Structure 1
Amino acid sequence: MSTQEQIRNAAQATFKNHLEFLSSGEIEKWVDLFEENGILEFPYGPADFPKQVIGKTELYEYMQNFPKHFSVSFENLHFHATESPNVVIAEFTSNGKAISTDKPYNQQYISVVTTNDDGKILKYVDFWNPLVAMEAINAPLSNFVNQ
């Protein structure tokens, strides 16, 4: 196996672990997938939502309550070919619910993730639809627009 294939396999394995750790509520293991100053970015987040979360401490603080709010499994994972073995482009879905409302949380995602050669996440850009999350938790749209 070439070095490029090893790097690509490590990047894709990290992505699969990301989905597993998030769905099983293992947030500390999820954070450990990131490089010390790793970045999680949300280009489509609502107005009150952070655009970036940087570093392991912020990542943990941001994600620690995810398992208390959502119960999800991730499905239909598809990796797209990339020129760089350090870049993962993935499409996948979530199947789950918001715990507080018992309403469905079924989301479609596209993620662009850059890793170092050891598979640690340097940058994770998360493309998701915030309206799906808002509906699942009964958040009024007015909380997120025109502010």
Structure 2
Amino acid sequence: MLRKALGDRIAADAATFLDMMADDGVMEFPYAPPGLTTRLEGKAAIARHLDSLGEMIASDGMGEPTVYATTDPDVTIVEFEGFGHGVSTGEAYDQRYISVIRTHAGRIVQYRDYWNPLVVLRALRGGAAIADLTEGVTDHG
């Protein structure tokens, strides 16, 4: 999905997400709740994070990306959905992402990943965790 979204901004020999990352690439998670990782520096740290994530959330696929061009040719904004489930709970993990990606010399040097932490909470702790969090809150829309 990401190769399709980034096209020729990524080197042809980069087959996996980690291949696409620069050795000193950075991932940032601005919406991560307190206590969770907000920044990873370097390909090795990113690999460890992805391995641990795979133990908690099983991926069932990704939706088609919507790609937004920017005035900076090295920056791409990608909107997409990821589908999966919590490994221990079986709860759905249906996440919408907005990623701001900076590339240089055919590799990703910065990947800023915006996602909904409540979707993660439900997948990892179950629907009751969301109910507890939102109890007493009403929609005034």
Does the 8 A contact of 2:99 with 2:112 survive in 1?
yes
Q: Which residue of 2 aligns with 1:104?
A: 92
The residue identity in structure 2 corresponding to 1:10 is D
Is contact 1:86–1:117 with CA below 8 Å preserved after alignment? no
The 5 A counterparts of 1:105-120 are 105-118=93-106, 120=107
Q: Secondary structure at the match of 2:7?
A: helix
Question: Which residue of the other structure, out of 62, 70, 73, is the alignment partner of 2:57?
Answer: 70
Report 1:45-56 matches (<5 A). Answer: 45-56=32-43
- Provide the C-alpha distance between the structure 2 equivalents of 1:95 and 1:64, rounded to a whole number of angstroms: 17
What amino acid maps onto 2:29 in structure 1? F
Deviations 1:97-119 (A, max 9, x none): 1121111000111000000132x
Query: Is 2:102–2:109's contact at 8 Å kept on the other side of the alignment?
Result: yes
Gaps of 5+ in 1: 1-7, 22-28, 143-147
| Displacement after TM superposition at 1:32 (Å) | 2.3
TM-score (norm 2): 0.76
Question: 1:61-99 deviations in whole A, cap 9, x for unaligned?
Answer: 111122222222110310012122221101111122112
Contact 1:116-1:122 at 8 Å conserved across structures: yes
Residue 51 of structure 1, CA deviation? 1.4
Question: In the alignment, is residue 9 of structure 1 matched against residue 7 of structure 2?
Answer: yes
The runs of at least 4 consecutive aligned structure 1 residues that moved more than 3 Å come to 139-142
Offset of residue 132 of structure 1: 0.6
Q: Identity over aligned residues, as a percent?
A: 29
Flag the structure with higher strand content. Answer: 2
The aligned runs of 1:1-147 (5 Å cut-off) are: 9-11=7-9, 29-72=16-59, 73-118=61-106, 120-138=107-125, 140=129
